């Protein structure tokens, strides 16, 4: 699949928390689309800006491979995959272009409610469950804490109750899921929101001009919202 040169292709989440707000924001920039029958591809009508509807986790990789030019994804996913590439010795292939003001949450470290929290050193030798191993490992390394990172793709908050872990590192918005599992947040690793992600270098040719136009319209649309 080689990328089109004269049309801009943006990857957004197909379903989930960011799917509707991402489309609504792009629509407020004057974009409209004709949907394909499989609902995976939306052909831009008012501008040559197409959408690809995917899992959020696939978005950084699609940008890295040049399959998509831009994407709308949580900063948490983008930074996790950036750290993972760095750990694997691969060069940066995507970066945050602009924060978009929705999908706000934080990546937090949480411990059982009955722990008297004294600081990161208390995690030494403990098991911490997370879906963000690269971000957690970087945070622990900066604090010179050696702990075991247990990678889970979902249901992270129940890991302590199941005896799989002592603490968790997970996304939190209201904190009600943590409380329901007798956990309390004790540190914030990352403040996150949805961002426009793109390649490290600016886009060239017609796609560069389309991206500039889109950024100007986003600027206007986000200013009105504030």
* Contacts to ligand ATP by CB under 6 A: 13, 16-18, 55-57, 74, 76-77, 103, 105, 171, 173, 192
* Smaller CB separation from Zn ion, 50 or 56: 56
Residue 58 binding Zn ion, by CB under 5 A? no
The entry of ligand ATP, Zn ion, none that residue 105 binds, CB within 5 to 8 Å by partner kind: ligand ATP
Which DSSP category does 54 fall into? E
User: Shortest approach of ligand ATP to residue 79 CB, angstroms?
Assistant: 10
Q: Indicate which of ligand ATP, Zn ion, none lies near residue 131 (CB less than 5 to 8 Å, by partner kind).
A: none
User: Under a CB-based contact definition with an 8 Å cutoff, are residues 217 and 30 in contact?
Assistant: yes
Provide CB contacts within 8 A for 33, sequence distance 6+: 42, 43, 44, 45, 50, 51
Q: How far is the CB of 23 from ligand ATP (least distance, A)?
A: 14
Reduced DSSP (H G I as helix, E B as strand, rest coil) percent helix, strand, coil of the chain, to 5: 35, 30, 35
Nearer to ligand ATP, 60 or 103 (CB): 103
Nearer CB in complex with ligand ATP: 157/207: 157
Task: Kindly state whether residue 56 participates in binding Zn ion, applying the rule CB under 5 A.
Answer: yes
Of 196 and 210, which CB lies nearer to ligand ATP in the complex structure?
A: 196
When CB distances to ligand ATP are compared, the closest residue is 74
CB of 101 to ligand ATP, least distance (A): 12
Which part of the chain contacts Zn ion (CB under 5 A), choosing from 49-57, 164-172, 192-200, 215-223? Answer: 49-57
Cα-Cα-Cα-Cα dihedral sign, residues 122, 162, 80, 179: negative
Closest by alpha carbon to 115, among 189, 168, 191? 168
Report, in Å, the least distance between residue 74 CB and ligand ATP.
2
Minimum CB separation of residue 54 from ligand ATP in Å reads 7
**For 53, left (φ over 0), alpha (ψ -120 to 50), or beta?**
beta
CB 58, min distance to Zn ion, A: 8
Q: How many CB atoms lie within 10 A of CB 111?
A: 22
- Please check whether residue 183 is in contact with residue 129, taking contact to mean a CB–CB distance below 8 angstroms: no
Task: Give me 187's structure tokens.
Answer: 């540190």
Q: Tokens 């949450």 — which residue?
A: 105
CA distance 22 to 151: 28
Stretch that binds Zn ion, among 22-30, 57-65, 143-151, 215-223 (CB under 5 A): 57-65
Q: Which residues sit at the interface with Zn ion, rule CB under 5 A?
A: 56-57
């Amino acid at each position: 699949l080689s990328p089109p040169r004269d049309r801009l292709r943006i990857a957004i989440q197909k379903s989930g928390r960011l799917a509707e707000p991402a489309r609504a924001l792009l629509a407020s920039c004057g974009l409209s689309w004709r949907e394909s029958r499989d609902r995976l591809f939306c052909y831009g009508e008012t501008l040559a800006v197409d959408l690809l509807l995917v899992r959020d986790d696939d978005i950084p990789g699609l940008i890295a491979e040049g399959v998509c030019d831009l994407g709308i994804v949580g900063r948490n996913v983008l930074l996790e995959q950036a750290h993972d590439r760095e750990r694997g010795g691969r060069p940066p292939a995507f970066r945050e272009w602009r924060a978009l003001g929705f999908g706000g949450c934080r990546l937090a470290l949480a411990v059982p409610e009955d722990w008297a929290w004294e600081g990161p050193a208390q995690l030494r030798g403990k098991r911490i469950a997370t879906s963000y191993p690269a971000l957690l490992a970087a945070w622990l390394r900066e604090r010179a804490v050696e702990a075991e990172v247990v990678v889970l793709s979902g249901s992270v908050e129940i890991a302590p109750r199941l005896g799989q872990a002592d603490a968790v590192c997970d996304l939190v918005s209201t904190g009600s899921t943590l409380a329901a599992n007798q956990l309390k947040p004790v540190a914030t690793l990352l403040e996150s929101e949805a961002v426009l992600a793109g390649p490290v270098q600016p886009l060239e040719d017609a796609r560069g001009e389309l991206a500039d136009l889109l950024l100007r319209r986003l600027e206007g649309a986000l200013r009105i919202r504030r």
